[in-house]
Structure 1
Amino acid sequence: MLQLFQFPLCAHGRKVRLVLGEKGVPHELVREYPWERRDEFLDMSPAGETPVLVDPARGHVLTGAQVICEFVEETTEKMGMLQGGPVQRAEIRRLADWFDRKFFADVTAPLLEERMLKRLVTRASPDTVRLRDAMRAANGHLDYMDYLLDHRRWLGGPSLSLADFSAAAQLSVVDYLGALDWRGHEQSKNWYAVMKSRPCFRPLLGERMEGLAPPAHYDKVDF
């Protein structure tokens, strides 16, 4: 069985989990905290980053959420996530990269450091200015999502795609950390409610990070 090395609030790992779940690919979750810098993990992921997908039967080791998701897309027929012609697929990849890279850098990464790592690992006080900046950035990203959803059925175009799962994975972590303000973002809120209602989302909503509880609305589809 495939093994996915990640931790509960790994946004990139959540993206892979959603894709594997949507496609019905059996896999085992292996808890890995990248900040521990285990030698055995660094042998698999020289960058020291999660997620990592391992196929013990074939000896394959894949690192990086987008790389893993495209591998799964190419090797699993169910539920295509890069549909359409070259231009459509390019737009899906552009948005997947937007959420994996820009949203993560602007919003998810600073929130994880201030609200998770400082609390659970370094025992330092959070930087309130950085927290406010990240939440302000989240609002700007929601504005962009509202714009996209005003013109499209899904983020990447007419059909559910990897762009939607990339965005939902990031938002799910930010929501767990209690840093999303949906006021004035009905388009994005309704889209996220639909994403949360998918069966592949249920394991994420039921999982908890030790020592860090989510807000009461976190696992509710109607929030």
Structure 2
Amino acid sequence: MIRLYHSPLSPFCRKVRLVLAEKRLEVELVEERYWEKSVEFMRRNPAGKVPVLRIDGKTLTESAPICEYLDERFTDPPLIPKGTDSRYEVRRLIAWFDDKFHHEVTANLLYERVNKKLTGAGYPDSTKIKTGAKAIKYHLDYMGWLLEQRRWLAGDNMTLADFAGAAHLSSLDYISDVDWNRNGNVREWYAKIKSRPAFRSLLADQVPSFPPPPHYADLDF
């Protein structure tokens, strides 16, 4: 049995969930109120973060190495290419989303609008929300530029880089913070990845007090 301790709208957890689903691995999802830092959870991960994956008696933490572990152990379908240059580009884009996009966009929009209320951390900071709303335009334009040259974000095949990008954007789409009309290439790319069976559990997520918009689970937007 594989067990994933997660938070539904966490893009890092969503990335791992997409990999597990794409590999057709059965997993038990355990929603974790990580901000409460329970003794049991801190024993699983002293960093106090999700995701945490339990597999074959081992406890794995941090989304990027978890995803690479799963891809190396369960090789069908491969999500990280073999070529040195191709692997670099996948890892570069994963770092882009999980670092730059996360700090400039996700933390300023999702965390301010949703996480603060869920964790009792106060009221949203309107300045941060405005900063995130401005920054996401730049990121969508960059993704559109990449997709002018490639079928998928990192090349001609779908990779873990696409799951990293889709994990962040799907979390933001849940709160209607993505302008899908800004770039047709990005909209088409997201429609492709959103239609995959691996995405179904994400589209079924429901967060108390935060209902998703009608288009969230609509494969045609």
Residue 36 (structure 1) aligns with: 36
Q: Which amino acid aligns with 1:210?
A: P
Q: Specify which of 207, 211, 214 is matched with residue 209 of structure 2.
A: 211
SS at match of 1:88: helix
Residue 11 (structure 2) aligns with: 11
**What is the deviation of 1:10?**
1.2
- Does residue 51 of the first structure (1) align with residue 44 of the second (2)? no
Answer yes or no: is the 8 Å Cα contact 1:82–1:89 preserved in 2.
yes
Q: Deviations over 1:16-58 (max 9, x none)?
A: 0000000111111011021111111111111111000012xx3
**What is the deviation of 1:221?**
1.2
Rounded to whole Å, the distance in 1 between the matches of 2:105 and 2:2 is: 30
- Does residue 26 of the first structure (1) align with residue 26 of the second (2)? yes
- Counterparts of residues 148-163 of structure 1 (less than 5 Å): 148-163=146-161
Rounded to whole Å, the distance in 2 between the matches of 1:119 and 1:99 is: 24
Residue ranges of structure 2 left out of the alignment (5+ in a row): none
**What is the deviation of 1:109?**
1.7
Residue 132 (structure 1) aligns with: 130
Rounded to whole Å, the distance in 2 between the matches of 1:186 and 1:199 is: 23
Q: Which amino acid aligns with 1:105?
A: H
Count of paired positions: 221
Q: Which amino acid aligns with 1:131?
A: I
**What is the deviation of 1:101?**
1.5
CA RMSD of aligned residues (A): 1.2
TM-score, structure 2 as length reference: 0.96
**What is the deviation of 1:123?**
6.7
Q: Deviations over 1:114-143 (max 9, x none)?
A: 111232332733222211110111111101
Rounded to whole Å, the distance in 1 between the matches of 2:215 and 2:17 is: 21
Rounded to whole Å, the distance in 2 between the matches of 1:110 and 1:45 is: 25
Q: Which amino acid aligns with 1:143?
A: D
Q: Which amino acid aligns with 2:7?
A: F
Q: Deviations over 1:175-197 (max 9, x none)?
A: 11211112231100110011110
**What is the deviation of 1:82?**
0.7
- Counterparts of residues 68-147 of structure 1 (less than 5 Å): 68-122=66-120, 124-147=122-145
Answer yes or no: is the 8 Å Cα contact 2:108–2:131 preserved in 1.
no
Rounded to whole Å, the distance in 1 between the matches of 2:65 and 2:44 is: 15
Of 144-153 and 173-182, the range deviating more from structure 2: 173-182
Answer yes or no: is the 8 Å Cα contact 1:120–1:211 preserved in 2.
no
Percent of aligned pairs with the same amino acid:
44
Rounded to whole Å, the distance in 1 between the matches of 2:185 and 2:163 is: 16
